[in-house]
Structure 1
Amino acid sequence: MLSGFAEITLGHIGREWPYAPNAVLAGPEDLVAPRAHHPIFYGSFDWHSCVHSWWQLLTIRRLEPDGPAAARIGELATARFTADNVAGEVAYLLRPASTGFARPYGLAWALALHGEACRHAEGWGATLEPLARTIAARLTDYFGKLTYPIRVGTHFNSSFAMILSLEWARTYDPALAATIERRAREWFGEDRACQAWEPGGDEFLSPVLTEALLMSHVLPAADFAAWFDAFLPDAEWGQPVTLFTPAHVSDRSDGKIAHLDGLNLSRAWAWRSIARVLGEGHAVSGVALGAAERHVAASLPHIADDYMGSHWLPSFALLAVGVG
């Protein structure tokens, strides 16, 4: 299964076109091919998808070091992760017009990529460190000054980026970790009886479950169980029903509608992770694991149906099946 995910991603990690830049153009000089701005992350349709596609490939290489894709992944990473290429990526982020670029979703994934790269012996982590440090400083400032959390189920979601960033920061940047933990408690600590009005038509994250998953990383296990019971008091009965029901994807060639496959996969990841923290004795754990299986079954068979999904869904599939 993992080698299948890798093969899909190896087919687009260096595919430059089509490309969605999602950037502010400061002038006509910015109208250039993607790799001119992004010497590492120019493939996979957009910058953030390329970043987490690399995270996925390195993760699979670590999990299956003798797998059919491992050697190719290593060769590509060594060719792409060079000091000059990293300097090019950092330079782009430091442009005045790039203040909000890939914030927070892509930036958080870049921290996750650096953390994974550090688990490999080839020195990729050290090479990528200047990029990670630049991003960490930016996210520390951003989370510190953001007045209210962003609760949508798309790239701007605060909780998802905080989950990825916190895992990295606890090892590499205690100041960022402290900022995330403080803001999570301030923003979400008193949330109760969530109504779960989701999904939106183009969401690939559950605002409700990403918030809960973040709090499972921030609070001690017993405190999290108490918080969760107040946040979703009817979850043991499968309510709100929308959180336990996979989203229907009507057109996988539509890039926005295809996001719903990502929602199913990210919900599966969240439910599985929450059940693990709650423990087998909690009334919600079995219900949560059942929901995870239904969500995986709804979307895992479709991750390669169309390029609008295949350029990013294998990363979320890796999360959904509980490895990584």
Structure 2
Amino acid sequence: MKIHTLILSVAVLLQVSMQAQTGNRNLFSKEVAAKLASLPLHCINNEWPNKTSHTSDSATDHVLLPHQLHPVFYGCFDWHSSVHGHWMLVKLLKTFPDMPDRDKIIAVLNNSFQLEKMKEEAAYFSKYKVASSWERTYGWAWLLKLDEELYTWNDPLGKQWYSSLQPLTQTIKELWTKYLPKQTYPNRTGVHPNTAFGLVFALDWANALNQPEFAALIKQRSKDYYLGNKHTPAYMEPDGTDFLSPSLEIADLMRRVLPKEEFLKWFNSFYTKEGIDNITKMPQVSDRTDYQIVHLDGLSLSRAWCMKGIAKSLPATHPYRKLFNAKAEEFLHHTLPHVTSGNYGGDHWLASFAVYAIFEDR
């Protein structure tokens, strides 16, 4: 299918679905899922263009190709996008077991979820001198989200793929467990190193897989970083390449960490009205062919999932509960037709954000 036809069909299907149905989960039909699945299906085994971010130890490993460095997650422009592309395909298979291209999706995932390949992926983190910090923590977070999705899938294929992923999963957990006690300060950026975003996914994984020690470490470090935060400068968001809201990611984490009454007290001190007014404005995306500017479409989607979750943790009478729910819907409805812009800068990753924004309801 030509890319402009794909863009049109996805946009039309999404608009029809939004007009005809209510509730975020109903934004997706089987047909829409199939259209969006075609994006990671195209890029998972597409090696170029590629942003490896590899730090070389010598001239020998400087010339290695992406698939030689990473036998599984070498496509979709970069490692983390390949990981959450895999997550999205698993999520859609779980949601629509009879979706079109099911056999094609299974073939692609079967090729990825091979034990020996995952052992090689895991070995990368210790094979090179500075690789232990590579993809910290955004890629780590999506890897645990993929693992969680497979763990919670009562399906023979899911169990098989989950088993194959374990060498890499355990490596990521060990790296994070070693890193958190020595991470003195959180990263408050709106892009990949954002600490709060990573800890949200890590905590969800720890809770789903009954990992109490890891969960306790995450909760304690989250309190260390954010419990005393007040009057966050959300009025300054976003930066020009943000796909995450620094303030909303923190709030989305703390609602998981604190009991509801404590969270409410914390939340009321965390935001100012000026900040709320600012983060509820629609981000302006001036050029979707620009690999960095298109990040702002991702910002709309991540704001939507954060606002949905935060709203659930606020009392029914709280003035921002209704506002956040309404703005989450607005961000979704505005951005979903743009999840594919016809440019690889958005096509290689935005569909994953769209799927997560729709189905995330913790």
Q: Same fold (TM over 0.5)?
A: yes
State yes or no: 1:66 paired with 2:98: yes
Residue 313 of structure 1 deviates from its aligned partner by 0.5
Residue 60 of structure 1 deviates from its aligned partner by 0.8
Q: Is the 8 A contact 2:34 2:100 kept in 1?
A: yes
Name the counterpart of 1:179: 217
Q: SS of the residue aligned with 1:317?
A: helix
> Following the alignment from structure 2 to structure 1, what is the Cα–Cα distance between the partners of residues 137 and 210?
18
State yes or no: 1:210 paired with 2:249: yes
Residue 233 of structure 1 deviates from its aligned partner by 4.8
Residue 185 of structure 1 deviates from its aligned partner by 0.8
Match for residue 164 of structure 2 among 127, 130, 155: 127
Q: Is the 8 A contact 2:232 2:275 kept in 1?
A: no
Name the counterpart of 1:13: 44
Correspondence 1:78-227 to 2 at 5 A: 78-95=110-127, 96-118=129-151, 119=153, 120-122=155-157, 123-170=160-207, 171-196=209-234, 197-227=236-266
Name the counterpart of 1:254: 290
Q: SS of the residue aligned with 2:130?
A: helix
Among all aligned residue pairs of Structure 1 and Structure 2, give the percentage whose two residues are the same amino acid. Answer: 36
Q: SS of the residue aligned with 1:94?
A: helix
> Following the alignment from structure 1 to structure 2, what is the Cα–Cα distance between the partners of residues 94 and 172?
27
> Following the alignment from structure 2 to structure 1, what is the Cα–Cα distance between the partners of residues 120 and 289?
33
If each structure's helix is expressed as a fraction of its own residues, which one has the higher value? 2
Q: SS of the residue aligned with 2:90?
A: helix
After superposition, the C-alpha distances for 1:73-123 in whole angstroms (9 at most, x for unaligned) are: 222212211111011101111122312110010011111111112224221
Q: SS of the residue aligned with 1:300?
A: helix
Q: Give the aligned CA root-mean-square deviation in angstroms.
A: 1.5
Q: Is the 8 A contact 1:195 1:240 kept in 2?
A: no
> Following the alignment from structure 1 to structure 2, what is the Cα–Cα distance between the partners of residues 156 and 4?
30
Residue 283 of structure 1 deviates from its aligned partner by 2.2
Residue 257 of structure 1 deviates from its aligned partner by 0.9
> Following the alignment from structure 2 to structure 1, what is the Cα–Cα distance between the partners of residues 194 and 53?
16
List gaps (5 residues or longer) in structure 1: none
Q: Is the 8 A contact 2:305 2:360 kept in 1?
A: no
Residue 239 of structure 1 deviates from its aligned partner by 4.8
Correspondence 1:2-41 to 2 at 5 A: 2-30=33-61, 31-41=63-73
Moved more, 281-290 or 201-210: 281-290
> Following the alignment from structure 2 to structure 1, what is the Cα–Cα distance between the partners of residues 79 and 164?
19
Name the counterpart of 2:21: none
> Following the alignment from structure 2 to structure 1, what is the Cα–Cα distance between the partners of residues 178 and 163?
23
Residue 206 of structure 1 deviates from its aligned partner by 0.1
Residue 55 of structure 1 deviates from its aligned partner by 0.7
Name the counterpart of 1:46: 78
Query: TM-score normalised to the size of structure 1?
Result: 0.95
For these two proteins, the number of residue pairs brought into alignment is 321
Q: Is the 8 A contact 2:34 2:99 kept in 1?
A: yes
Q: Is the 8 A contact 1:151 1:207 kept in 2?
A: yes
State yes or no: 1:295 paired with 2:334: no
Moved more, 54-63 or 297-306: 297-306
Q: SS of the residue aligned with 2:184?
A: coil
Q: SS of the residue aligned with 2:168?
A: helix
Q: SS of the residue aligned with 1:242?
A: helix
Residue 68 of structure 1 deviates from its aligned partner by 1.2
Query: TM-score normalised to the size of structure 2?
Result: 0.85
> Following the alignment from structure 2 to structure 1, what is the Cα–Cα distance between the partners of residues 212 and 162?
18
Residue 240 of structure 1 deviates from its aligned partner by 3.1
> Following the alignment from structure 2 to structure 1, what is the Cα–Cα distance between the partners of residues 331 and 301?
6
State yes or no: 1:271 paired with 2:303: no
For residue 323 of structure 2, what is the amino acid of its counterpart?
Answer: V
List gaps (5 residues or longer) in structure 2: 1-31
For residue 205 of structure 2, what is the amino acid of its counterpart?
Answer: W
For residue 54 of structure 2, what is the amino acid of its counterpart?
Answer: A
> Following the alignment from structure 2 to structure 1, what is the Cα–Cα distance between the partners of residues 277 and 102?
41
